[in-house]
Amino acid sequence: MKKALFAAALCLALAWACSCMAVSLSLSDVVPFGENPISVTTRSAGYLTLRVTSEEIERRVIVEEEYIHAGTTAIPFDGLAWNDEPFNRGSHITVEAFFLPDTGDEEAASTTAYVKAAKPAIAYVLPCRTAYHYTKGDYGLRIDAALAAGGSLIVQIVSADDPSQVLWSQSKSVSGTDNQKFFWKGVGSNGKALPAGDYILRGYSKTMPDRVISVPITLLAEPEEEVELAVTGSLIPEDGASDEEIWDMLMQPAFVIDGGEGGGCAIHEKPSNASKRVGTVTCATVGVTILNLSHDTHALIGAWRQEDGTWVEGYVEKRLLTLMRPNDMVGLVVDKRTQEMSVYMDGEKIGVIQVSTGLATSSNKRAETRAGVYFTANRQGGFLEGGFRYEYPIRIDGGNLLHQIGYQSKYGSSPNFKVQIASLGRKASHGCIRMDCRITDESNGLNAYWIWTHLGRNVKVIVIDG
């Protein structure tokens, strides 16, 4: 009897305490890209701020100082962090409320929710360039696209004047979030060439057709002007270069060594493949400086070699040098002195992301992130290394990638980034460029997920030595 009376008294006390609270929250399991209304109950009218945190890191402000009336208010929540990044399936997030009533002091409340599988919304649609001319024999304009979960992925070219007019369409049934490649050769669905002009590339999920990502595309009447093999100046901007000058360098084509991505080409001491090797340069993704072309068959080039990041000058066959045109939407500059990545888009610097580049050791000199010019290549799935999980990897140089800082996690708990957040701003990786998971400037929304969803293939990345 005493236990029953005690339990009843406790329930009454809790009910009384809740009735005295200025704000309370209710939220069911969260489905990213779904409808997840947050029920907010208040005793009076006032101003409400709602934010989402994960492992004490702020990941989203849902509403800020929004005026609500007394009673229960449903606040829409799509289950996403900044930049439409879905929270990890199986983790928990915390929603915190800060309520300032019309009369009285601010009060706070919080609730925790479990994250379920995301809906198959479109995550990104990224062409390698926005201006394109089909030349017989090439693969076509490469388009990378992905969904947030398995489903039917649709990529289309539509009329810029009438987006309801679908001119070309392809679809793929995908089982997960892996990157999918599409190639458009400047033709309509009937296989006939479309006239030069402006079009729209768009992508969406068949089950979520209202969520669409669109990119303007220009089909050129003539191929872009050929660039002959010639001696180049420095590929690295000088200290004090203006943002306009840096953007111009990011948009300049560069010569790379023909070969498979990630493979290496030997650079020789003399204009002969039989001469001593002075180093190895990664094929396909590394820009090289051309110093001299006076020899009939070989060019004198300069580059930072794979072995230890040292600048070397040596010879390679001219026939192996091929022009790489950079993606014309975005460019990156990584300064190892400040451990910051500057992001340029549409001719302007839009902000910076804190990074950690490679830390060379006496036993692993290759861990130094090599200076130079790179072009983004294949995307990979997340991977585990040394007890950390790394997401959003994009290859730039052999085994080196751009990717998010690593986190530690167990199923049913949220990703814990604290260890590698502490290393941002200094050299710490094995050669990759680790990017911050956090949004440090709400005005630009830059972080690792922004890079993942905005960097297509062939984006130029300039790494400045430190």
The CATH number of the domain holding residue 377 is: 2.40.440.10
Based on the fold, state whether residues 430 and 452 are members of the same structural domain: yes
**Residue that wins the pLDDT comparison between 414 and 459:** 459
Residues 6+ apart with CB under 8 A from 144: 124, 125, 126, 128, 179, 180, 181, 182, 379, 456, 457
**Residue that wins the pLDDT comparison between 367 and 375:** 375
The CATH number of the domain holding residue 141 is: 2.60.40.1930
What residues are paired with 201 via a beta bridge? 157, 215
Based on the fold, state whether residues 110 and 172 are members of the same structural domain: no
The pLDDT value given to residue 21: 57
174 is a domain residue: yes
- What's the rounded Cα separation, in Å, for the pair 265 and 305? 10
Question: Which of 103-107, 238-242, 327-331 comes out lowest in average pLDDT?
Answer: 103-107
Task: Report residue 20's pLDDT band, with 50, 70 and 90 as the boundaries.
Answer: low
The answer to whether the predicted template modeling score (pTM) of the entire model surpasses 0.85 is yes
- What's the rounded Cα separation, in Å, for the pair 369 and 360? 8
- What's the rounded Cα separation, in Å, for the pair 466 and 462? 13
Q: Are the C-beta atoms of 346 and 329 separated by less than 8 Å?
A: yes
Based on the fold, state whether residues 325 and 429 are members of the same structural domain: yes
9 is a domain residue: no
The pLDDT value given to residue 100: 95
Residue that finishes a domain, picked among 201, 219, 237: 219
Alpha helices in 138-284 (DSSP H): 243-251
Q: What is the mean pLDDT of residues 156-169?
A: 97
56 is a domain residue: yes
Size (the chain), residues? 466
Among 141, 134, 129, 139, residue whose Cα is nearest residue 196: 134
- What's the rounded Cα separation, in Å, for the pair 412 and 400? 31
- What's the rounded Cα separation, in Å, for the pair 143 and 168? 13
Residue that finishes a domain, picked among 199, 219, 239: 219
Question: Which of 129-138, 356-365, 414-423 comes out lowest in average pLDDT?
Answer: 356-365
- What's the rounded Cα separation, in Å, for the pair 368 and 336? 10
- Measured between alpha carbons, how far is residue 206 from residues 105, 163, 164, 211 in Å? 48, 17, 16, 10
Q: Which domain holds residue 431?
A: 226-466
* pLDDT 10s digits, 225-238: 989 999 998 999 99
Task: Report residue 367's pLDDT band, with 50, 70 and 90 as the boundaries.
Answer: confident
Q: Are the C-beta atoms of 453 and 330 separated by less than 8 Å?
A: no
The pLDDT value given to residue 18: 43
Phi, psi of 246 (to 5 degrees): -65, -45
Based on the fold, state whether residues 318 and 183 are members of the same structural domain: no
- What's the rounded Cα separation, in Å, for the pair 62 and 98? 12
**Residue that wins the pLDDT comparison between 390 and 305:** 390
Based on the fold, state whether residues 259 and 160 are members of the same structural domain: no
Based on the fold, state whether residues 56 and 137 are members of the same structural domain: no
464 is a domain residue: yes
Based on the fold, state whether residues 128 and 105 are members of the same structural domain: no
Q: Return the amino acid letter for 363.
A: S
The pLDDT value given to residue 412: 61
Please tell me the total count of domains within the chain.
3
**pLDDT mean across residues, the chain:** 92
Based on the fold, state whether residues 25 and 55 are members of the same structural domain: yes
Based on the fold, state whether residues 86 and 166 are members of the same structural domain: no
- What's the rounded Cα separation, in Å, for the pair 323 and 321? 7
Phi, psi of 238 (to 5 degrees): -75, 155
Q: What is the mean pLDDT of residues 87-100?
A: 94
Q: Are the C-beta atoms of 290 and 299 separated by less than 8 Å?
A: yes
Based on the fold, state whether residues 274 and 339 are members of the same structural domain: yes
337 is a domain residue: yes
Using H for helix, E for strand and C for coil, what is the string for 362-382?
CCEHHHCCCCEEEECCCECCC
Asked if the model's pLDDT at residue 12 lies above 60, the reply is: no
- Measured between alpha carbons, how far is residue 190 from residues 138, 167, 365, 398 in Å? 19, 9, 54, 40
* N-term to C-term CA, the chain: 75
Question: 448 is written with which tokens?
Answer: 């690792």
Based on the fold, state whether residues 134 and 66 are members of the same structural domain: no
Based on the fold, state whether residues 237 and 347 are members of the same structural domain: yes
Q: How many CA atoms lie within 13 A of 466 on its CB side?
A: 21
Q: What is the mean pLDDT of residues 416-434?
A: 95
* pLDDT 10s digits, 46-84: 999 999 999 888 999 999 999 999 999 999 999 999 999
Task: Report residue 411's pLDDT band, with 50, 70 and 90 as the boundaries.
Answer: low
> Residue 425: left if φ>0, alpha if ψ -120 to 50, beta else—which one?
left
7 is a domain residue: no
What residues are paired with 94 via a beta bridge? 53, 112
> What is the b/e burial string over 332-347, where b = at least 16 CB atoms within 10 angstroms of the residue's CB?
bbbbbeebbbbbbeee
Task: Report residue 10's pLDDT band, with 50, 70 and 90 as the boundaries.
Answer: very low
The pLDDT value given to residue 301: 97
Radius of gyration from C-alpha coordinates of the chain: 26
- What's the rounded Cα separation, in Å, for the pair 113 and 93? 6
Task: Report residue 2's pLDDT band, with 50, 70 and 90 as the boundaries.
Answer: very low
* pLDDT 10s digits, 260-285: 887 899 999 999 999 999 999 999 99
Q: What is the mean pLDDT of residues 137-166?
A: 96
Q: Return the amino acid letter for 73.
A: T
Phi, psi of 75 (to 5 degrees): -100, 120
Asked if the model's pLDDT at residue 16 lies above 50, the reply is: no
Residue that finishes a domain, picked among 194, 219, 244: 219
